[in-house]
Structure 1
Amino acid sequence: MRKKISVCMATYNGEKYIKEQLDSILSQLEENDEVIVSDDHSTDKTLDIVRDLKDSRIKVYSNELGKGYSKNFENSITHSTGDIIFLSDQDDVWMPNKVELMLKELNNADLVISDAVVTDGNLNVTIDSHFKRHGTKTGFLENWMKTRYIGACMAFHKGILEKVLPFPKNQKLCAHDYWIANVGELYFKVKLVDVPLMKYRRHGSNASTGGEKSENSLMHKLKVRIYTFVKLLSRISN
């Protein structure tokens, strides 16, 4: 019997794509696994669609940690009970072999990040490899300066949560995926899975930019790196 998986998903007004995403996930999970849906008070039919699936592995919680996708992910992770945690956005689609290959790579790493194909809203491929497009590499300095890791492509052992949680309070200066990437690189073993295991849907309403653009000022970027580095050092004794 393999280790229990928790898929941690953050949702907000995701009615258009969420069923397709959940179908792609649930088909790869076992009976003992779980999908933790943290909803940031959606005003559309997102939760109705989730509940209509009538799958006992899905557990729904409202986000009370503070509005925003990083706090929403933190709420989801906090409620997880699995040995292995996968992060999931509400609007992507997992490849059929994602869980199998990620679990295999986690035998020799604490945090793994897969490649992804980037698509438009209709899943037409626009970039066939996120890794190749951005020259994604492991290494602390590389990812502290500018990480190319996509949060929804991450899976990790629950042991890293000792240093990951709680997330830094200022999510504008330290988003969840940037934080997890840097904690992983500084304190744990990180491995890239050089296979696209997700269709990363970019449809104009995504919560994050996916590394495609940045309008932040130089001062803001400097604040992000200093703030994150100070928070990383504070976890040494954890």
Structure 2
Amino acid sequence: MRLTVSKFAMLADTTVRTLRHYRQLGILVPSQKNENDHYIYVNADFKRLHEIQLLQSLGLSLNEIKVCLDNPNYSFEEIIKVQEQSLRQRREAIDCSLALIERIQLLTEQDQLNESNSEILMLLMNSMRVEQAQKKLLQKYVSIDVIDQLFPEDFSKQTYLDGKLYNLLLLVHRAIVKGLNPDHPFIQQQLHGIFADTPLSDLIFNEEVNNEELYKNVKPYESLAPKHTMDFLKEAFEVFNTKKNSSLKD
């Protein structure tokens, strides 16, 4: 069978444009031409096209397909193994992204947010993205029970804490805009309201935690938020912790 590009495209359920693109890339170049110097497709080209389409369905790009098909040691079995690993990793990344989106959507549907701020939602989502690394870091300073409370598996508890963290970031934003210092009574009162009934207090008020060492180790994560926000939070927590410890001693 000898077919022109248009007839081949029709029978193969593809387009002339696609076939021309494949030819330009060098992954499907007909070996024959007719008397008018036009490319002619034969039976073997169907096999080649189906092979390209199969590799595309496995997630390979056209450039990756070209590398595979140009390799004399090309092994379809090896490609399957490599691509399976790649697809599983991509699926894991997609699942993580969808979980982050779901948490943000659940949070915005709750009434506990004082107001909606897209920039703060993005900061919060960035913090969620590195939670596994944060959990690993905190294992050095607090018990597993505290970590499980800080990062609960239960979605309702998780959303509740997300709201607390969101309102904390919003508090800092408002304070900076209004020119309030971290030790301002209103700021300290709001911090108490945010943390009083959360497991975060177990971390903040834990006298066994070396705060200086902890601050040093969380440096890589400070870039998740603007420097002025992190500086404000650090000073506010120091004042808050000092007052809390003083009240406990009294």
**What's the TM-score once normalised by structure 2's chain length?**
0.26
Higher relative contact order (CA 8 A, sep 6+): 1
**What's the TM-score once normalised by structure 1's chain length?**
0.26
CA radius of gyration, larger in? 2
Larger strand proportion of the pair: 1
Larger helix proportion of the pair: 2
